[in-house]
Amino acid sequence: MSPESMSPESMPPEPRSCRIIESTLREGEQFANAFFGTEQKIEIAKRLDAFGVDCMELTSPAASDGSRRDCERIAGLGLRAKILTHIRCHPDDARLAVETGAQGIDIVFGTSSLLREFSHGRSVDQIVERAAEVIELLRGHDLEIRFSSEDSFRSDPEDLFRIYQTVDRLGVHRVGIADTVGVASPRAVSQLVGRLRELVGCDIEFHGHNDTGCAIANALCAFDAGATHIDTSVLGIGERNGITSLGGLVAGLYVRDPDGIRERYDLPLLRGIENFVAELVGIDVPFNNVVTGFCAFTHKAGIHAKAMLNNPSTYEILDPADFGLERYINVAHKLTGWNALRHRAEQLNLELDERELREITRQLKKLADDKPLGLSDVDTLLRSHRSQEMTLS
Ligand code: HCA
Ligand code: CU
């Protein structure tokens, strides 16, 4: 059915938009190698703002004097993105946070029995009481307030729901579910977020660690189940092996709604942001990184190459051009096919017929069985064959 012939009821709903809370300047500071000076933080903040993230989360002003000063500086830059700061659920931290000029405060409290016993030693009733005190203190200011429960997936769901419903009634703008230890499966995330969506009226945020490699999948499941905000960091840097990466989340959202994502975010800036942060923290961008890994748009096998040359959608769900990148079709190997070599011959302006191309492919495969080849080997073979033909005729 064409869109014109659809009745309003049968039209697909407008895709919901997901708010990104970019936490490189908070969770990212917890990455093993991270040390960001003030100017570096400002540069990261400006680049993320230009990319189009909705909010940025900064380290608690209670962490150190420098953290407090940097939070004030960045909050005062007048960026388009909302500046949030992260605090423990404590009135002293809340007072400090208000003074930074940040537009929102992200409160976090450990709710799992492990954290209740071995970290802060409080009961659920005491958590609710403390939360009410801090929220009350913040409500007098024009601030966005979020309350999140650390280690949500190892907390008793009944405790969690009681806490979330209480803070929702107290007027927080958002509640946060945090998979602090990366234990959640996509299904568990869908269930918890889906249930919470039925119980609270405020927005829902998801923060997921990557200990079992599920951080991106979990974030997408959270969004699909009704979360409104997702936490990310550049390249996923954070505590241990980190959280949902900005690029990974954006790629997942792009697949659902390419037009919306192209419009909301300046996608070609992603690679520069990742390279900048990678250099600052002394790491390489992983080869298999979503979107920007060096081979993310490299196609190799003969059947892939043939189809890609006819229509790139056959093996690409992300258009590299949207991210300012180019695809590469690798023809110099034993898995190659004569269609791919024909394309290369055309690029070189060499006229070769199918019989010749099949023969060249056979020779190339033979060479490639013995050693790795480069494009120049392919070109030499194509050219030498052409000159042989010309000498013969
Ligand atoms: C931590 C805190 C946190 C907070 C997440 C949130 C986590 O370092 O343990 O504020 O939602 O993963 O629980 O990053
Ligand atoms: Cu975290």
Please indicate, yes or no, whether residues 142 and 273 belong to a single structural domain of this protein.
Answer: yes
Please indicate, yes or no, whether residues 170 and 77 belong to a single structural domain of this protein.
Answer: yes
Residue 200 CB partners (closer than 8 Å, separation 6+): 164, 165, 168, 175
The domain tally of the chain equals 2
Cβ atoms within 10 Å, residue 136: 13
Contacts 24+ apart (CB under 8 A), 37-45: 38/66, 38/69, 38/70, 38/73, 40/280, 41/70, 41/73, 41/74, 42/73, 42/74, 42/77, 43/276, 44/234, 44/273, 44/276, 44/277, 44/280, 45/74, 45/77, 45/79, 45/81
Of the bound ligands, which one is closest to the alpha carbon of residue 243? 2
User: Is this structure's pTM higher than 0.75?
Assistant: yes
Residue 311 CB partners (closer than 8 Å, separation 6+): none
In this predicted structure, the answer to whether residue 388 has a pLDDT above a threshold of 80 is: no
In this predicted structure, the answer to whether residue 247 has a pLDDT above a threshold of 50 is: yes
Q: Within 170-311, where are the H helices?
A: 186-199, 215-224, 246-256, 258-264, 270-280, 302-310
The pair of three-digit structure tokens given for residue 110, joined into one six-digit string? 């450990």
Please indicate, yes or no, whether residues 183 and 132 belong to a single structural domain of this protein.
Answer: yes
Report the pLDDT averaged over residues 124-148. Answer: 94
Please indicate, yes or no, whether residues 239 and 303 belong to a single structural domain of this protein.
Answer: no
pLDDT one-digit tens code per residue, 203-237: 999 999 999 999 999 999 999 999 999 999 999 99
The pair of three-digit structure tokens given for residue 135, joined into one six-digit string? 């929220």
pLDDT one-digit tens code per residue, 256-309: 999 999 999 999 999 999 999 999 999 999 999 999 999 999 999 999 999 999
Please indicate, yes or no, whether residues 211 and 305 belong to a single structural domain of this protein.
Answer: no
* Within a domain: 5: no
Q: Which of 253, 281, 309 is the last residue of a domain?
A: 281
* Within a domain: 1: no
What pLDDT was estimated at residue 103?
98
Q: If you measure from the C-alpha of residue 149 to the centroid of ligand 1, how many angstroms do you get, rounded to a whole number? A: 8
**Best substitution site from 144, 207, 218, 231 to test ligand 1's pocket, by max atoms within 8 Å of Cβ?**
207
* Within a domain: 287: no
* Burial annotation 260-292 (CB, 10 A radius, 16+ → b, else e): bbeebbebebbbebbeebbebbeeebeeebbbb
The per-residue pLDDT of the chain, averaged, comes to 94
- Nearest Cα residue to atom 5 of ligand 1: 178
Q: Which of 281, 315, 342 is the last residue of a domain?
A: 281
Q: Of 207, 304, 333, 385, which is the active-site residue? A: 304
Please indicate, yes or no, whether residues 240 and 377 belong to a single structural domain of this protein.
Answer: no
Please indicate, yes or no, whether residues 169 and 31 belong to a single structural domain of this protein.
Answer: yes
* Within a domain: 290: no
Position 12 confidence tier, pLDDT thresholds 50, 70, 90: low
Place of tokens 């979107």: 291
* Within a domain: 286: no
* Within a domain: 10: no
Q: If you measure from the C-alpha of residue 208 to the centroid of ligand 1, how many angstroms do you get, rounded to a whole number? A: 9
CB atoms within 5 A of ion ligand 2 belong to 27
Q: Which of 255, 281, 307 is the last residue of a domain?
A: 281
Secondary structure class of 62 (helix, strand, coil): coil
Specify the CATH number for the domain of residue 206: 3.20.20.70
Please indicate, yes or no, whether residues 322 and 257 belong to a single structural domain of this protein.
Answer: no
* Within a domain: 84: yes
Pairwise CA distance, residues 180 & 208, whole Å: 6
* Within a domain: 61: yes
Q: Which domain holds residue 241?
A: 15-281
Please indicate, yes or no, whether residues 197 and 332 belong to a single structural domain of this protein.
Answer: no
Please indicate, yes or no, whether residues 143 and 218 belong to a single structural domain of this protein.
Answer: yes
What pLDDT was estimated at residue 393?
46
Looking at residue 240, its amino acid is R
Please indicate, yes or no, whether residues 180 and 324 belong to a single structural domain of this protein.
Answer: no
pLDDT one-digit tens code per residue, 27-59: 999 999 999 999 999 999 999 999 999 999 999
Atom nearest to 149 CA in ligand 1 = 11
Please indicate, yes or no, whether residues 98 and 228 belong to a single structural domain of this protein.
Answer: yes
